[in-house]
Structures are given as C-alpha cells and as structure tokens.
Amino acid sequence: MSVDISDFEDEEEELAVLAEHLIQPDPMVARLTYQFGPIAGLGRDPVKPGDFEFVCFGGDRLDNGFGYELRKRMPMEVLQALRDAEGDLARWTKSPLKPLIDRAQADVERSDLEALAEGVSKETDKVAALEPISAVAERINKKLQGMAGTAQAIETALGFSPADPDKLLRALRVLFDDKKRDISEASLGTANVLYLALRSIDLEAQVDEGNREHTFFSIEEPEAHLHPYLQRLVYRSYLRSRQATDGDDDEDGRITYLLTTHSSHIASVTPVDSLILLRKAADSSTGGVSGCEIELSEDERNDIERYLDVERAEGLFSRAILLVEGDAEKFLLPVLAGRAGYDLDSLGVSICSVSGTNFVPYVKFFGPKGLNIPIAILTDFDALKTGRSLGEDRVADQILPALMDAKAIPAERDDRLAAAEANGVFLNEHTFRG
C-alpha cells in the first residue's frame, strides 16, 4: 500500500520529514509504502503468521526504510464509525477535552489551584454537615455495623470527591443550555459535533506546538446521529476553505480530512476535486475514480458544485443514473417504469434532473469520461416551426461529444443521431407542456 504526498514544498517542517522519500522533484511528490509478505529467504511456503513480515519504506527503494519518528511527525488519527462520543466525553481518560485542559493547566499557578481546592473543600463540607444529610450518613454506618460487626464495618461519610489540586481541573465538564445541563443530557448528534470540535482543536494544537508537522484525520461515517442540515453545515467547514472569526485565514493546512460516507447530504457540499468514488469492478475488485481527474472547465466545475444538491448527489451512490430535463420527468418516469415492471429503487437507478437542457457538465461528471457511472439521457425533441429540432442539435453537437471518445464520434450529424440510442441518449416524441 503506497501513499503519495504532494503540495508540501513551502512547509519547511514537512519538507524536512519527507525530503528523503521523493519520487518526483518538480512538483515535489513523496511516496510512503507499507509492504506485507513472506519473510525474505524463508525457503518454503509460508504457513503461519510468524512466516510473514511488513516493511515500511520511502520513495521507490526498499532499503530506504522509515519508522516511528516519521509516523509520529505525520500521523493518521482514525475516528471509527461505531464511536461512543457521549461516553468518551463523560470519561476523563478518553475525553477529547482532557488534552486541552492539560495544556491549560500548565499555565495555571500551583498556588492558585491549591487555594481554590481548599475553598472548594470548605464549601462542600458544609453540604455534608447539614443535619438531614449527616443523619443519612449515621444511619448508613449503623447498618454496616449491624451487618458486619463493629470490628469489621468500615466508617463511611457522605461528601464530594476530595478537592485535590491535581484533580480539580479534571472535574470540569462541558455544559450547555445556560450551564443547566451537561453532555450526558445532550443528544447523540450534539455529542458528536462537540467531540469533533474538541478533537480538531487538539490536533491543530499539536501541530502548533511542534509535536507533529501534519495530521491526517480520518472520520468513518461522519453523518452518524446528525440531522441533514447539520451534516451539511458541519462538514462544509471541513471540506471547504474557511475564514476564521477574526477575519484572518484559518490554517486548515495543518489537517487533512478524509471522510468515508454514504450520505448524499455530505456529498452535496463536497468540492468536485475532493470526491473519490469507490466502485466494484467487473472482476469484483474495487476501483477508485477521483473528481480532480475529470476534465471540466472552471464554469462546468462551478456549475456541478452549485447544483450538486442532495437530490443529484444521490447519483454518486447509485448503480446507474437517468438524466432528465426537469421535475415532470423525474416524478413521472418512476411510475412509468413501475407499470412496465421495473422498480428503479431496487435496481439502484437514480433519476436526476438537470433543471434545464445543459446536460454537458453532468455527462462529463457522471459519465464514462468522469466518475464512470452508467448513465442514460432523456431530452426533449423541441421541434421548431421551421422543422428544425433543438433536441437533435443538443444531442448531436453537445451531449454525444461529451459522452463519447473523440475518435469514436461519427463525423456526420446524421450518423451521430443514429448512434445516439446505442450510447444511451434518447429524444422523446411527446414533450410536456406547462
């Protein structure tokens, strides 16, 4: 497994870490490889786990090994799908709040903490000294003595945890709703958002402090427990450039975010260049297609990103896509398909409206020159009084050139129209009228 890293020429720290592992000097590209296989020189077929080994090396040379130091400087943090954000936030040892408080504690005077701890102890002792409370403590002790005898019973008291200066800050909890509730009373979605925010702050701080040069933050199924609008809001901030609240550019370069998702809501706010689609190939292997490799003009890319709303983003997860002009076709075609015995949902077919007749960006994006999702196009004939068809012009001069390989496109217009249906492009005979 190899990972190629680029766009680090202007970062001195990252350059120092990766300089020995370059495979390309201009622009700089470094490669890190993990290789697993039988032990060299084993002399027989491997039959047990001990017969295998792994090697980590940089560049294209097996002898150029790297170890813990590089992984420490540029680690990957993985947030699993089946996470318990609420439980982790409640346990100090796992809470993402812990490293933030630990850093803050280093700047707090010890004498101030000791004075606060003493004051806390005095005030909490007053609660335990209230007569009804002390009576409960006395009753507990009498019951224990009756059960275990005076020699065996332990002496108990009611009170709060000891106000140890070292533990005082650990008692801090994230509160919300005007400090009336803590995180244990929050929804799972709220806990997830808070958890992500705290983890991001911690990862940024580790780069700022020089503990690492860069972090790859991988989040599996980031949509867990979030309403659709929160999915879009939260992950738009990760996937697109942000502006800090003070007006300065936010240093997003410190972290690279990797999200694996089945959410069309998150996909709808993802830049085209950041999309990677994984699909099963004919031989049952998995193939990947990157959005940054699709040849789109700047206007076409902007068009896709502007209109890749939730409905169209659904197409990214489908087995095939039918592109239509508007809502009428989108609503009617599933019904017509059902009457013909086809359940489009069962077949994994999405009907996506392009809200007009500009099919070209979508054909380039979804089609064989792009994400390589099987597509078909249905467009109106749009006959003019002169006898000319705008639909035929659209198919022959726009859609087919965007769909077919340049060498395979017939030179003559009539031949292109004759090849349309074989390439999944259909002109209707009856057009809806408003």
User: What pLDDT score was predicted for residue 19?
Assistant: 92
Q: pLDDT category, 252, cuts 50, 70, 90?
A: low
CA distance 137 to 7: 66
Per residue in 35-48, pLDDT (tens digit) is 999 998 888 999 99
User: What pLDDT score was predicted for residue 153?
Assistant: 64
Per residue in 110-144, pLDDT (tens digit) is 888 888 888 877 887 888 788 888 888 888 888 77
CB 267 within 8 A of CB 316: yes
User: What pLDDT score was predicted for residue 427?
Assistant: 93
Q: pLDDT category, 17, cuts 50, 70, 90?
A: very high
Judged against a pLDDT cut of 90, whether residue 186 lies above it is answered with no
**Residue carrying the six token digits 């009373």:** 185
Can you give the length of the chain in residues? 434
Distances (CA, A) of 283 to 344, 367, 375: 24, 20, 21
φ, ψ dihedrals at 281, nearest 5°: -85, 175
- Nearest-CA neighbor of 405 among 358, 380, 379, 372? 372
State the amino acid at position 15 in one-letter form: L
Q: Which one has a higher pLDDT value, 386 or 242?
A: 386
| Helix (H), strand (E) counts: the chain | 18, 15
User: What pLDDT score was predicted for residue 166?
Assistant: 74
User: What pLDDT score was predicted for residue 361?
Assistant: 93
Q: pLDDT category, 391, cuts 50, 70, 90?
A: very high
- Nearest-CA neighbor of 32 among 78, 76, 65? 65
Cross-strand partners of 50? none
Judged against a pLDDT cut of 80, whether residue 151 lies above it is answered with no
User: What pLDDT score was predicted for residue 245?
Assistant: 40
Q: What is the mean pLDDT of residues 159-188?
A: 74
φ, ψ dihedrals at 326, nearest 5°: -150, -170
Judged against a pLDDT cut of 70, whether residue 248 lies above it is answered with no
Total Cβ atoms within 10 A of residue 239: 18
Judged against a pLDDT cut of 70, whether residue 420 lies above it is answered with yes
Could you give the percent of the chain with pLDDT greater than 70? 94
Measured in whole angstroms, the distance separating CA 151 from the mean position of its chain's CA atoms is 61
Question: What rounded mean pLDDT belongs to the chain?
Answer: 86
Q: Which CATH architecture does the domain made up of 85-149+170-265 adopt? A: 3-Layer(aba) Sandwich (3.40)
Q: In the structure encoding, which two tokens stand for residue 287, read together?
A: 């193939």
Per residue in 282-329, pLDDT (tens digit) is 888 888 999 999 999 999 998 898 888 777 788 999 999 999 999 889
Per residue in 258-267, pLDDT (tens digit) is 999 999 999 9
Q: Which one has a higher pLDDT value, 371 or 177?
A: 371
CB 395 within 8 A of CB 416: yes
Q: pLDDT category, 236, cuts 50, 70, 90?
A: confident
Domain ranges of the chain: 2-74, 85-149+170-265, 309-427
State the DSSP string of 283-301.
TS-EEEEEGGGS---HHHH
Judged against a pLDDT cut of 60, whether residue 392 lies above it is answered with yes
Q: In the structure encoding, which two tokens stand for residue 331, read together?
A: 């609503």
User: What pLDDT score was predicted for residue 247?
Assistant: 43
User: What pLDDT score was predicted for residue 126?
Assistant: 83
